[in-house]
Amino acid sequence: MATKKFAGPSPYVINTTYPEVDFRHTEYINNATAKKSRTSAAPVVAAIFGLGRAGSIHLSSIIRNPRIILKYIVDDRPEIFTELKSYWKLEDQVVCLTSKNADRVYKDKSSASTITSVHGERGADESVWHREQDASSTSCQRFIDDLQQVATLRGGVFHDCVVHDFDIACWILGELPVRVHATASGLITEVKAIDDFDNIAFLLTYPSGTVAIGDNSRFCAYGYDQRLEVFGNKGMIKVENEKPAHSLESYIGQDGIKLNPIYYSFPSRYKIAYRRELEHFLDVVQYGVPIEVSSWQTLAISKIATAAEESARTGKTVELDWSKDGIPAEYS
């Protein structure tokens, strides 16, 4: 045949590889071969505190994970306990308690770990899990070196929402801002009535000269809009929104191209990230793997959020001093 001389070796005799970023294939390989990278460890016995929005997501991940045994659920809504146990088909060994009786958890030496959700309200600690375990965010962080000098970062009130934007900016850049300026307004009646904001813009200035520009809103009619651009002297990196069945396009009549809408909210946008964060949590507890989120990172992001709110309320730029915060030298 004319093409025979161009034929290469059989794919069955060469050492094939796949992209490291394809973490789903890595999971498949490990499951298909029952690969054990470490010695077996006994399941972690745990308690979960709070079953709000994020708490219900954690509960779902825990129940489906064979590496963890759920022993206690602590929530101050006892009226949900019966239906909760029926829905998840929880055995009698799972004890449901209110916070008044939480001492039982603390005194039980078999409960090696606790997962706290605080009724699903996400602060800085949850934010860092998002960016560490989200494939798009980690890919963006991995490619930062290719940009050389980063000039601007544009992304996405303060302690429970904008805090995520602060965190991902600092994590990607590997430094903390020295100057914060924010402006905000309350356009939604119910939000304004409690002296809070729903429409925010901010600017962070870093020691390297990089600036991060972000905007945030408590309400988005078309879904969970969370995009990121990093611009540098060699180019730009973008993280776009994700959508279900993202490969589907329709061409009907003269209506143009139709695509599925982006994911509606964080439970669907970060579903895989939530599962991966539980796996990392178990790696830390069972095998002593270094935790990917440090206490100083969590405290630093909270400090930035506080400064941004102060700026929004006073109209003034806030300078940040990190000299007494125990920040590692390479991060400041």
124-331 folds as Dihydrodipicolinate Reductase; domain 2 (3.30.360)
Mean pLDDT of 139-160: 56
- In this predicted model, which residue has the larger pLDDT, 66 or 329? 66
- For residue 315, pLDDT over 80 is answered with yes
How far apart are alpha carbons 118 and 240 in whole angstroms?
30
> Quick one: how far is CA 264 from the chain centroid?
16
* Per-residue confidence (pLDDT) for residue 14, from 0 to 100: 84
> pLDDT at residue 46 above 80?
yes
139 vs 276 pLDDT, higher one: 276
41-55, 98-112, 195-209, 270-284: which has the highest mean pLDDT? 195-209
Q: Where are the domains of the chain?
A: 44-116, 124-331
Note the pLDDT tens digit of each residue in 264-280.
999 999 999 999 999 99
Write the pLDDT tens digit of every residue in 244-301.
999 999 999 999 999 999 999 999 999 999 999 999 999 998 999 999 888 999 999 9
Tell me, what's the pLDDT at 154? 43
pLDDT for position 136: 59
> What percent of the chain lies above the pLDDT cut of 90?
63
- The pLDDT of 313-318, averaged and rounded, is 97
How far CA 240 is from CA of 163, 226, 233, 327, in Å, comes to: 19, 7, 21, 31
pLDDT of residue 138: 60
For residue 6, pLDDT beyond 80: no
Please state, rounded to an integer, the average pLDDT across all residues of the chain.
85
Length of the chain: 332
Please give the pLDDT value at position 42.
87
- Are 105 and 45 spatial neighbours (Cβ–Cβ below 8 Å)? no
- Parallel, antiparallel or unpaired: strands 228-232 and 235-239: antiparallel
How many of the other CB atoms lie within 10 Å of CB of 255?
A: 8
In the chain, helix, strand, coil percent, each to 5? 40, 20, 40
- Across 97-112, average pLDDT: 86
What is the pLDDT confidence band of residue 118, given thresholds at 50, 70 and 90?
very low
Q: Which stretch of DSSP H or E encloses residue 172?
A: helix 163-173
pTM: 0.80
pLDDT at residue 200, rounded to an integer: 97
In percent, how much of the chain has pLDDT > 70? 83
Mean pLDDT within 138-166: 64
Quote the distance between the C-alpha of residue 173 and its chain's center.
17
To the question of domain 44-116 being in CATH 3.40.50.720, the answer is yes
At which residue do the structure tokens 């440090």 appear?
Answer: 294
What are the tens digits of pLDDT across the range 48-72?
A: 999 988 899 999 999 999 999 999 9
Contact between residue 137 and residue 269 where contact means Cβ atoms under 8 Å apart: no
For residue 76, the 8-state DSSP code is S
